[in-house]
Amino acid sequence: MANQGASVTVHLDKGDYIIALESDEQNYYYDNDGIITIRITGEYQPGTTPSSGALSDEQLIAQAKQAVQGKPQPENYSSCLVYAQKRGLKASASGNPQTYGDGAFNILWQGNDAKLVNNVPTASLKSGIKPLQSISNLTTVLQPGDFIVCQRDVAGANKDYGHIAVVELVETGRVVISQANWSPAWKVLHTSDFVSGMYGYPSGLP
């Protein structure tokens, strides 16, 4: 218990907490101005928020937009792949036009090229690619600056080229993405939105 005017330091593990202020019926632990001051200190992690329920989807998008002011914006590009490359994607999608063409879908595979058998790729996914279906904690597989890639004709992606979006913010149960050649250009995806054929693509992966 703290005395009036005292400062208390508590070290907490990462997580969400409810802070309860109680009175002993004699002293309400206010300062001289009648104000309770609480300061929670810790390392700030860009692209995260303390709780998945702290902000609405719209507020989270607004926060994401503010964080990337000055960087390329999705509304200025007609190609999702070119936009992703402007935002740091290292992969090239050049492949055999008779198989995948030059679409975002092409970057998922070893060698950036594979034949299709019954519309199923014969190549293996690159090491580090992370399927996003049935992931309960998205912070374990995605971080700001990563990318989300959809196979062709998955979750509304183009049936020939697939789709790629930039990960802007990540919480346990949702992420904010920005994406060119798509409406809306800014969107929140929840864990339930991720289906088979959607992958996390790490920012540093060639």
For residue 22, pLDDT over 60 is answered with: no
Residue 201 pairs with which residues in a beta bridge?
147
Q: 14 to each of 3, 23, 26, 47, how far by Cα in Å? A: 27, 27, 34, 15
Q: What is the mean pLDDT of residues 185-202?
A: 96
Q: What is the mean pLDDT of the chain?
A: 76
The confidence score (pLDDT) of residue 26 equals 46
- Contact between 133 and 195 under an 8 Å Cβ cutoff? The reply is yes
Q: What is the pLDDT of residue 115?
A: 52
Question: What are the extents of the domains in the chain?
Answer: 57-201
pLDDT band for position 148 (cuts 50, 70, 90): very high
User: pLDDT at residue 67 above 80?
Assistant: yes
Predicted confidence (pLDDT) at residue 96 exceeds the cutoff of 50: no
More reliable by pLDDT, 161 or 89: 89
Question: Distance between CA 55 and CA 119 in Å, rounded?
Answer: 41
> Which one is predicted more confidently, 97 or 132?
132
